[in-house]
């Protein structure tokens, strides 16, 4: 029994050591140029800003203000890379939720569900399923 275990262990170690030195076929290391990185970043920022302008609530706001949404989208597409980067930076700084009421409602619902399941006991008006 011990001999069979030693033989299996040694065979596994031999195979792992032999395959350890072989190069991986999908590993590829190459230099990436600054221009390529800048182009990819600018394209990602442009797509993010255009996706923001395509949101339904923003389209409704444009309509309420009397602005043609298509014209606004065309103007964004015509912006330079520096302007797009500045606008994308401002999108990152904008509040994500819009208002705090949505956050409170979400927290309330999560706590209510955990109270009903029996993981917490916060609200006196709930009965645990446990």
* Amino acid 45: pLDDT: 86
pLDDT in tens, 108-125: 777 777 777 777 776 677
Cβ–Cβ under 8 Å, residues 62 and 75: no
Q: What per-residue confidence (pLDDT) applies to 96?
A: 59
Q: What is the pLDDT of residues 68-98, one digit of tens each?
A: 778 777 777 777 788 788 878 777 666 555 5
pTM tops 0.95:
no
Q: How far apart are CA 44 and CA 84, in angstroms?
A: 10
Give the chain's count of helices (H) and strands (E). 6, 0
Residue ranges of domains in the chain:
32-94, 96-130
What pLDDT was estimated at residue 104? 62
In this prediction, residue 124 carries a pLDDT of 73
The model's confidence at residue 9, banded by pLDDT at 50, 70 and 90, is very high
Q: 12-34, pLDDT tens digit by residue?
A: 988 888 887 776 677 667 787 88
Q: Six-digit token pair at 111?
A: 């706590």
Q: Structure tokens of 19? A: 């395959």
pLDDT: which is higher, 9 or 58 = 9
What is the residue whose two structure tokens read 């399941």? 117
The overall longest dimension of the chain from CA atoms, in Å, is: 85
């Amino acid at each position: 029994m011990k001999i069979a275990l030693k033989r299996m262990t040694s065979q596994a170690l031999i195979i792992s050591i032999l395959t350890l030195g072989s190069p991986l076929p999908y590993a590829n290391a190459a230099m990436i140029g600054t221009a390529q990185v800048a182009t990819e970043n600018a394209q990602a920022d442009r797509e993010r800003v255009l996706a923001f302008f395509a949101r339904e609530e923003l389209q409704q706001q444009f309509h309420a203000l009397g602005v043609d949404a298509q014209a606004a989208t065309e103007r964004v597409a015509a912006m330079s890379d520096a302007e797009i980067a500045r606008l994308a930076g401002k999108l990152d700084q904008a509040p994500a939720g819009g208002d705090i009421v949505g956050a409170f409602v979400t927290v309330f619902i999560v706590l209510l569900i955990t109270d009903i399941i029996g993981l917490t006991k916060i609200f006196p008006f709930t009965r645990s399923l446990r």
